Amino acid sequence: EAITVQELANRMAEKGADLVKAMFNLGMPVTITQTIDQDTAELLVEEFGHNIQRVSEADVDIVTTDDVDPEETLKPRPPVVTIMGHVDHGKTSLLDALRGTDVTRGEAGGITQHIGAYQVKTKGGDIVTFLDTPGHEAFTEMRMRGANVTDIVVLVVAADDGLMPQTIEAINHTKAAGVPMIVAINKMDKPEAKPQRIRERLLEHEIVVEEMSGDVQDVEVSAKTGDGLDKLLDAINLQSELLELKARPDRDAEATVVEAKLDKGKGPLATVLINRGTLKRGDIFVVGTQSGRVRALHDDKGRQVKEAGPSMPVEVLGLGGVPRAGDTLTVVEDEQRAREVAEYRQEKADEKRTTVAPTNIDTMFSALNTSVVEFPVVVKADVQGSVEAITTALNRLSNDLIKVRILNSGVGAITESDATLAAASNAPIIGFNVRPNAKARQQIERNKVEMKYYDVIYHLTEAIAKEMAGELGPER
């Protein structure tokens, strides 16, 4: 990290000329506009009797770095499980059914809250954390952002259907992540279920299940009747034991955002999964480019909790803004530090945007080469995780002939400004689990803006891909 002499002088509230003089005396003649490196800057700071308070790349890294906890401080932690598979094979049903097996469910005050992840306590007393947003889009997006929260993937395959495109995608994503997999052969209650055929087809993708003398556990289940769910939980716990998952509970918390949104009444909310340490009420933290102080913590049953330890999902109140799924939350010593790091990150992010955008080869190319058709859209969704999954999926639809251009994307209802933007660019608005507010509706009607509503990402991308093909016309 380099800095100019002038900038350093400004930060120290010293005269630039004095720094140049000091440098000269140190045997390093420089001009005021010259850039100096970190070590030289530190030397100067000390020379002027200031304390070194680094807010630089290296400094931010200290906040998110992988300082390793000593072995003797580690304690076993529950596994974090993601369910993947083809659409309609029963991911959501399975998540609901597994939630229903929780032995603590009956406890007073516990009402199911969808916060993006939940925990189940099995009859045997083991605890398992499930990510409540099924599908490989979310999984991959998180991974791309450096957040490897998933310990085990459960691949759901419907016994009456077989391996479908998204099953294979899920297999590939899981392999790429190096995460162990358990195969759940679902819909076993159906008379037309053919589990053996599934096992054979899996061989073609180098998944050799135990039934076929391999080492990938396979369990026959029915999300509908609940058959086999206990066996699936056993399989998860066995896999978890093999992984020897551990984390240090008694330290400042480090967590990953799995879902974030803006709540009308409560303000910005984020569900985080604790990676290590214990998050407590009152803790001061940075998360992405936001800072905050934990005002309250809620578990997946809507109950207030005082603290949350490793692998536990909690909803955090007290954020300065809405972070992004995959962001790391780090507890820091005080508010000033939190603000400093958050601001620094925001500056970095802004810099990146302004310096990268105009030189982006793709945009230059599409501006110069008229043969590239643009497909503009406005995307709004109910949670940040969906926004990111959708924009990633849409960007993947682009090719040499046609490019998706996301004019705006964000969390929340479709607003008047979304409608204006869409009208100006003759773009459709894509609403994922959100609707336009009253003002936006008027705009939409007046300008005949095309509205598209979805609640399944797969349906959304399929429809847009079709539209894009139509846009190109038969001659292409």
Binding site for GTP: residue ranges?
85-92, 132-136, 186-189
Token digits for 4? Answer: 């100019």
3-class state of residue 102 by DSSP: coil
Q: Which ranges constitute the DSSP H helices of 30-90? A: 38-47, 57-64
Q: Is there binding between residue 224 and ligand GDP (CB under 6 A)? A: yes
Which residues are annotated as part of the binding site?
85-92, 132-136, 186-189
Question: Amino acid identity of 330?
Answer: T
Q: Is there binding between residue 88 and ligand GDP (CB under 6 A)? A: yes
User: With 0-12 CB in 10 A as exposed, 13-18 as middle and 19+ as buried, what is 39?
Assistant: exposed
Choosing from 77, 136, 143, 187, the residue that interacts with ligand GDP (CB under 6 A) is 187
What H or E segment, with its residue span, contains residue 306?
none
Task: Judge contact between 285 and 318, C-beta under 8 A.
Answer: no
Candidates 29-37, 185-193, 325-333, 447-455 — which segment interacts with ligand GDP by CB under 6 A?
185-193
Mutual angle of helices 16-25 and 5-12, in 10-degree steps:
110
Query: What is the maximum alpha-carbon separation in the chain?
Result: 88
Q: β-pairing, 127-131 with 80-85?
A: parallel
Q: Is there binding between residue 186 and ligand GDP (CB under 6 A)? A: yes
Q: β-pairing, 80-85 with 152-158?
A: parallel
Scan residues 94-153 and list those touching ligand GDP (CB under 6 A).
134
Candidates 114-122, 182-190, 229-237, 421-429 — which segment interacts with ligand GDP by CB under 6 A?
182-190
Candidates 220-228, 234-242, 269-277, 334-342 — which segment interacts with ligand GDP by CB under 6 A?
220-228
Partner residues linked to 247 by β-bridges? 75
User: What is the CA 129 to chain-centroid distance, rounded?
Assistant: 16
Choosing from 30, 77, 81, 90, the residue that interacts with ligand GDP (CB under 6 A) is 90
Q: Which CB, 187 or 261, lies closer to ligand GDP?
A: 187
* Rounded least distance, CB 212 to ligand GDP, Å: 22
User: What is the CA 91 to chain-centroid distance, rounded?
Assistant: 19
Site string for ligand GDP, 39-78 (x = CB under 6 A): ----------------------------------------
- Tokens 């030397």 correspond to 43
Q: Is there binding between residue 441 and ligand GDP (CB under 6 A)? A: no
Q: Is there binding between residue 93 and ligand GDP (CB under 6 A)? A: yes
Q: Is there binding between residue 189 and ligand GDP (CB under 6 A)? A: yes
* Rounded least distance, CB 409 to ligand GDP, Å: 23
What does the alpha-carbon distance between residue 146 and residue 141 come to, in Å, rounded to a whole number?
Answer: 9
- Measuring CA to CA, which residue among 178, 208, 190 is closest to residue 198? 208
Partner residues linked to 414 by β-bridges? 436
Q: β-pairing, 290-298 with 313-319?
A: antiparallel
Q: Which CB, 197 or 224, lies closer to ligand GDP?
A: 224
Candidates 217-225, 339-347, 375-383, 413-421 — which segment interacts with ligand GDP by CB under 6 A?
217-225
- Tokens 């800095």 correspond to 3
Scan residues 402-421 and list those touching ligand GDP (CB under 6 A).
none
The DSSP-derived string for 368-416 is H-TTSEEEEEEEEESSHHHHHHHHHHHHHT--SSEEEEEEEEEESSB-H
* Rounded least distance, CB 95 to ligand GDP, Å: 8
Q: Is there binding between residue 462 and ligand GDP (CB under 6 A)? A: no
Candidates 55-63, 85-93, 377-385, 406-414 — which segment interacts with ligand GDP by CB under 6 A?
85-93
Q: Is there binding between residue 89 and ligand GDP (CB under 6 A)? A: yes
Q: Is there binding between residue 92 and ligand GDP (CB under 6 A)? A: yes
Choosing from 19, 87, 131, 457, the residue that interacts with ligand GDP (CB under 6 A) is 87
At a CB cut-off of 8 Å and minimum separation 6, what does 49 contact? none
Q: Is there binding between residue 298 and ligand GDP (CB under 6 A)? A: no
Candidates 3-11, 40-48, 86-94, 432-440 — which segment interacts with ligand GDP by CB under 6 A?
86-94
Q: β-pairing, 279-280 with 328-331?
A: unpaired
Q: Which CB, 223 or 411, lies closer to ligand GDP?
A: 223
* Rounded least distance, CB 90 to ligand GDP, Å: 3
Q: Is there binding between residue 190 and ligand GDP (CB under 6 A)? A: yes
Task: List, as own/partner pairs, every contact residues 435-441 make where C-beta atoms lie below 8 angstroms and the sequence separation is at least 24, other chains included.
Answer: 437/413, 439/415, 440/413, 440/414, 440/415, 440/416
Q: Which CB, 206 or 455, lies closer to ligand GDP?
A: 455
Q: Which CB, 223 or 377, lies closer to ligand GDP?
A: 223
Q: Is there binding between residue 223 and ligand GDP (CB under 6 A)? A: yes
Question: Amino acid identity of 250?
Answer: D
Candidates 187-195, 208-216, 303-311, 380-388 — which segment interacts with ligand GDP by CB under 6 A?
187-195
What does the alpha-carbon distance between residue 467 and residue 475 come to, in Å, rounded to a whole number?
Answer: 15
Q: With CB under 6 A, what is the number of residues at the site for ligand GDP?
A: 16
Q: Is there binding between residue 91 and ligand GDP (CB under 6 A)? A: yes
Token digits for 454? Answer: 């979805």
Residues near ligand GDP (CB under 6 A): 85, 87-93, 134, 186-187, 189-190, 222-224
